[in-house]
């Protein structure tokens, strides 16, 4: 057992019923289970889904420590990390005090069927940080359950076989504010793009091969007809340009340009400030290529006209829905073409899905709902993080994803501004 820390720490705490954020002194967490790690927080993020708790929509009755995005350093480890049992996730043998780690926003054991298959957000022991059972990372220290399955050790990348020297150097150079984006919003954006690009209804355009031969198990294919340029031109929409929507757009753009695809993206948000941020990012990521005009930023009404014009009324091949409410889903349905797909990564509430079965049948629509399996998406997200440091690397620029880093003393004000849409992505430095 490693040395336990004692004493108190500062933490950002939410109090019921709603809109009540306080910085309080609470005990430093201790190892409670052999699989636990204690992480000393370097930076913690404020995320859009923190607002579900903040606004009281979760109807919680007890105060809790907020936050599910954090990067830090391992300062204590449970017994499992010293006994090297074979067959357990690698980190149980590899993780050491002093290692720099990024955490997904959910706990994953790394050992159940879902974890092994890569569906890590549906681990049978899944727990969300910043909830009543699992104190969050907007604190100076956090306890990470099942840490050998949950944490992502940045040393793994730097030391991985097959990683080039320049890649290792690139990773070690990344700022904490950049790496923090790996906890949730960048992998979730990558996941939204990934689902859209890999859907069997998108594959004919990506593979230049007609359906169903475009998919893996069309072994009965009788032809290998190659599609013409007109048919493989892709149109996507992204509904919602909060931080995750921005990440989804950058990821989609990055993957499509790296494949040399012929594509257009309409990025949609009703809020002007968010559209301005998106425009600044586009100017940054597309300024040297032929793709500056491949992305249009639009209000809801404008988006319908743009898609109509771009596609001669066919609609989008796929829509990335990054909001999580009924009107976003409705817009996604309106924009998608027949035999299109909707990748819905927004955190949805209890409202009923706003479509009839007939609407979905008549348009052959597909949906992929749900939470990003961050732990499994880390490598993909890190790859994009490294290549898009122009957007992910800086803090506070017009084209930067992270707007500012503040101390805990600004926590209450920051929650309030963020809730009102008056600031973008903010990180907390618990030692500032």
Q: Which residues, 254 to 293, sit near a second copy by CB under 8 A?
A: 255, 258-259
CB of 240 to a second copy, least distance (A): 14
Nearer to a second copy, 78 or 315 (CB): 315
Residues 106-125 that bind a second copy (CB under 8 A): 113-114, 116-119, 121-122
In sequence order, the 6+-apart residues with CB closer than 8 A to the CB of 342 are 318, 319, 321, 329, 332, 333, 336, 365, 366, 367, 368
Judged by CB under 8 A, which of 9, 65, 103, 214 binds a second copy?
214
Longest dimension (CA), the chain: 71
Contact of 245 with 189, CB cutoff 8 Å: yes
Nearer to a second copy, 202 or 400 (CB): 202
Q: Is 15 in the site for a second copy (CB under 8 A)?
A: no
Judged by CB under 8 A, which of 2, 213, 257, 279 binds a second copy?
213
**Stretch 69-108: interaction string toward a second copy, x if CB under 8 A:** ----------------------------------------
CB of 38 to a second copy, least distance (A): 27
Distance CA 387, CA 382 (A): 9
Judged by CB under 8 A, which of 37, 109, 206, 278 binds a second copy?
206
Helix (H/G/I), strand (E/B), else coil: 184: coil
Helix (H/G/I), strand (E/B), else coil: 323: coil
Q: Is 127 in the site for a second copy (CB under 8 A)?
A: no
Angle between helices 300-310 and 326-335 (to 10 degrees): 20
Nearer to a second copy, 6 or 216 (CB): 216
Using CA atoms, how far residue 111 sits from 88, 90, 146, in Å, is 7, 11, 10
CB of 414 to a second copy, least distance (A): 26
- Scanning 130-138, 147-155, 379-387, 411-419 for contacts with a second copy by CB under 8 A, the matching segment is 379-387
Helix (H/G/I), strand (E/B), else coil: 23: strand
Judged by CB under 8 A, which of 128, 276, 339, 406 binds a second copy?
339
Q: Is 356 in the site for a second copy (CB under 8 A)?
A: yes
**End-to-end Cα distance, the chain:** 30
Nearer to a second copy, 234 or 423 (CB): 234
Nearer to a second copy, 227 or 406 (CB): 227
User: Long-range CB contacts (< 8 A, 24+ apart) of 87-93?
Assistant: 88/148, 89/148, 89/149, 90/148, 90/156, 91/147, 91/148, 91/149, 91/151, 91/153, 92/35, 92/148
Distance CA 178, CA 190 (A): 15
Judged by CB under 8 A, which of 276, 369, 397, 429 binds a second copy?
369
Judged by CB under 8 A, which of 60, 314, 394, 395 binds a second copy?
314
Q: Is 363 in the site for a second copy (CB under 8 A)?
A: yes
Q: Is 56 in the site for a second copy (CB under 8 A)?
A: no
Contact of 288 with 260, CB cutoff 8 Å: no
Judged by CB under 8 A, which of 203, 297, 319, 320 binds a second copy?
203
Judged by CB under 8 A, which of 347, 399, 402, 426 binds a second copy?
347
Nearest 5°: the CA angle 357, 362, 364 is 90
In sequence order, the 6+-apart residues with CB closer than 8 A to the CB of 206 are 197, 214, 232, 234, 259, 261
Residues 221-250 that bind a second copy (CB under 8 A): 221-223, 227-228, 230-231
């Amino acid at each position: 057992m490693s040395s336990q820390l004692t004493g108190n720490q500062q933490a950002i705490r939410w109090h019921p019923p709603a809109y009540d954020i306080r910085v309080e002194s609470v005990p430093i967490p201790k190892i409670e289970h052999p699989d636990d790690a204690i992480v000393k927080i370097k930076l913690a993020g404020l995320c859009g889904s923190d607002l579900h708790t903040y606004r009281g929509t979760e109807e919680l009755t007890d105060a809790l420590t907020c936050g599910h995005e954090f990067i830090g350093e391992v300062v204590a480890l449970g017994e499992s990390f010293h006994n090297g049992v074979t067959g357990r996730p690698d980190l149980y043998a590899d993780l050491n005090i002093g290692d720099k780690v990024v955490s997904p926003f959910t706990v994953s054991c790394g050992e159940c069927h879902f974890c092994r298959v890569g569906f890590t957000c549906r681990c049978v022991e899944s727990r969300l940080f910043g909830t009543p059972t699992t104190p969050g990372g907007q604190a100076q220290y956090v306890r990470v359950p099942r840490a050998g399955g949950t944490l992502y050790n940045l040393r793994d990348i730097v030391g991985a076989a097959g990683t080039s020297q320049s890649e290792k150097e690139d990773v070690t150079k990344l700022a904490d504010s950049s790496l923090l984006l790996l906890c949730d919003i960048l992998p979730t954006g990558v996941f939204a793009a990934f689902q859209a690009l890999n859907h069997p209804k998108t594959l004919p355009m990506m593979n230049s091969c007609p359906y169903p031969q475009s998919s893996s198990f069309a072994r009965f294919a009788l032809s290998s007809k190659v599609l013409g340029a007109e048919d493989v031109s892709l149109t996507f929409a992204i509904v919602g340009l909060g931080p995750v929507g921005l990440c989804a757009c950058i990821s989609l753009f990055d993957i499509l340009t790296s494949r040399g695809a012929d594509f257009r993206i309409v990025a949609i948000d009703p809020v002007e400030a968010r559209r301005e941020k998106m425009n600044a990012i586009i100017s940054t990521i597309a300024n040297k290529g032929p793709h500056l005009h491949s992305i249009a930023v639009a209000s809801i009404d404008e988006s319908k006209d743009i898609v109509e014009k771009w596609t001669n009324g066919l609609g989008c091949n796929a829509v990335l829905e990054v909001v999580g409410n009924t009107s976003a889903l409705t817009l996604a349905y309106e924009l998608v073409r027949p035999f299109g797909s909707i990748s819905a990564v927004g955190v949805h509430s209890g409202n009923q899905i706003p479509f009839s079965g007939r609407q979905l049948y008549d348009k052959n629509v597909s949906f992929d709902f749900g939470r990003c399996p961050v732990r499994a998406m880390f490598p993909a997200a890190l790859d994009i993080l490294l290549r898009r440091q122009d957007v992910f690397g800086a803090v506070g620029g017009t084209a930067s994803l992270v707007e500012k880093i503040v101390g805990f003393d600004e926590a209450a004000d920051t929650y309030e501004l963020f809730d009102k849409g008056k600031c973008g992505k903010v990180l907390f430095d618990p030692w500032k």
